[in-house]
Structure 1
Amino acid sequence: MVYILLVLLLIILLLNFLLNNNDIIAPSVLFSFSFTIAVMFASFYVAKWQLNLHMNTFWVIFLGVLEFSVTSLLVSGIFKLFKSSNNYVREWIPNRISITNIQSILVILFEIFTIFYSVYSVVKLYNGSMLHFTSSVNQYRDQNLFGSENTVSLPLFVSYLRLIVEAMGYWFGYILINNYYVTKKVNIYLSLIVLLSGISSYIMGGRNGIITLLIMLVCFWFIISNKEKQFKKTIEFKTIIKLLIIGVVALSSFESLAFLIGRGGYGDINGLDYLAIYIGAPIKNLDIFLTGSTNRQIGFESQTFIHLVNTFGVKFHLVQRPIKLDLPFQHIWGFSLGNVYTTFYAFIYDFGYRGVGVLVFVMALLSQISYEIVKKSKKFFSPAISSLIYAYIGNTLVMSFFSNKFFEQIFDPLFVKMVIVWILLEIIFIRINFVKIGDKKL
């Protein structure tokens, strides 16, 4: 069944690519690509993991990807029906977005301060040592991810500083890609801003921030390229090769990044086996989950909307305490499978199989609408908020094979705060100076 599913997903991916004018970042392409790669990895371990895919798992993945693809196509078609010939950005031309060196240096200093202050705050929480801060960082990470009751939090001031640095990484990341697209020159200051933003996330024990940043940078490039070519550009073969190289390099460094910050691995598992735990094992884990009972009375203790519940549920006494993700680790014949189950796990955990139909529809609807707004945006003097939002959504679609990133990250009050930071960054770095010196800014 795994091989049949892989063939069907490859067909869906190819059709999505062709029906979207070879647009590699269209929502349906990203979502179907996500599961195609995961099932492909899982197919290498059929014997080792005893991956005899059950029919319910087969239909959940196949119909889920198919529903997302069809919904996206229908939404795109509806937008085309109601657009006039002038609605698309025919006159849009990418322009260099000007950020002064002084502005960049101030941002860099702010990021460096935030990184060191974050590390100091975590070390202080555990009475640790700055020389061995990774020990405190890992305690902090493990206690918040896997601790059942006693979670700890960074001071609110530190959390806001870190949010600003994360938002800066994406905002200046767009400018970095945009200016390189226009001038074919890499700005060292902007590169350092983006790098430090990634380090800020990474230094706290996680690699998700770096992965998100990398995927968003790729999305930025194709948003700019697609808009310039009126979303009709056929992707070149050499571009696909470059993306494959970037992907191989990123995957090759995945294991090393964990050990650099003191995170343990999975025993003597390394290389392709290590990657398989993160990319292919979610398929096996979902299959294990679906062989058990899926009839639960969740109430307000939702896994799908966990951040909304933890923000508003406690405040309005809908739940007694903040809830945690229920992600038990799985093993097969002593071989670790990790504890990730694809995005479908949360839907079925909360609402049963009908949850897949409803929530996949919502994902596809919101993702495609967001992308259609990007197509209509004409902003060129600063990063368009619509482009930033879609790139953020695009990352969650790519990571759908891994977990419920879409609803965890988009339906999260922190995301609203990040959008507010993006707006403030435009006001501070673009609009104020733009008003002062007018068109010379560009």
Structure 2
Amino acid sequence: MIDETTEVRQAREDALPLLSPQDLDPLLERIGNARYVLLGEASHGTAEFYRWRAELTKRLIAEHGFSFVAVEGDWPDCHQLHCCVSGVAGVPNDPEQVLWSFGRWPTWMWANQEVVDFARWLREMNKTREQDPPVGFHGLDMYSLWDSLRAILDYLREHHPDEVETAMSAYRCFQPYDEDPQSYATSTSMVPDGCQDEVTALLADLRDRASLSATPGLGPAFVAEQNAAVVVDAERYYREMIHGGPRAWNIRDMHMADTLDRLTEAYGPESKAIVWAHNTHIGDARATDMAEADMLNLGQLVRQRHERDGVVAVGFGTHSGSVIGSPRWGGPVRRVSVPPARQDSTEGLLNEAVPDRDSLFVFEPDAPSAWAERVRGHRAIGVVYDPRRARTGGYVPTVLSARYDAFVHCDRSTALVPLHPWEPEAHGEAETYPSGL
């Protein structure tokens, strides 16, 4: 058995200094011709994770021709940002104005200065692509049930007014719950089918419309169809949440994987995708204890579906610092400390090996170092975060080199900069399973 001192030495030898975007060259070489690059984060509120993801994404777009960025965000809100960075008429010119309008708690996930900076870069980059389609920015998540319903109604009123009644049937079915997912979920314990029939009919109708659309790619019919897919899967998700267990989680990650597939198809056979999401979504679940709980995730599904196309997953972690989080679901935005990681964790090992710096680890596919093949706790911070409990909880047992193809360690990290100095009320939004990830 390898002792800890040997593992620390191995990790130190494997660590590549990460000081500038040029230091990402070994990772870009590892990515090569891969079609899917999945970029994680150990928390939703850490500036360094967002910045390094943005720097790598810029290089993938500029040097490797990647087609779009898909994030752990709502489809309707992110579509507005997509229109902004694509230069669509009638949409605000400044991404900050669009991001400011993001209203679902927690707004800081996307309404923050780090995303503003990247989105402004992307808008300027798209201005130079005169002969090529713009690089997109899209949401993979499915919490926008009511916003998506309203977007569908707007689309049908403009393009197919004779079909509005199908959407209104679904809207009326959800109306008694006053946009409260918990209320709807509870009601399905008495009426198990809930609004399932109405949303299924809505999706079928919009898929027929999309197949007949003369506008290729991401035209209005595609956007409306995706909103309908959100409504269908969100309804299933809330129906399952009342029962507990992993099925709601699996519905959510399968929705994200299906949305990613629809996007790559819409962008064409040569398209390439970048994903931004929490480590718990992009790191392969089979390399963690999630598999024992019958949970799958986006990273696992993308690897299983698209291994031949090339998939590279990059995890992120931090030893200590600060983060944006909330003391409870729907609570206020606050900057809180991240205490030093447990010594027996991945982050504890890497702090001992390469303290006080950002480092990059690129794992050899066939022969990763022994330290990266050992099961260790790997820190995961949700939007609800209490540092007082961080020493005993919030660690996912992980084989690092199996969960990711590369890893970015930010030894001491800082909180990102939210655009909003306050947070809107959560409007009854149900907490994500297992804990705000």
TM-score, normalised relative to structure 2: 0.27
Higher helix share: 1
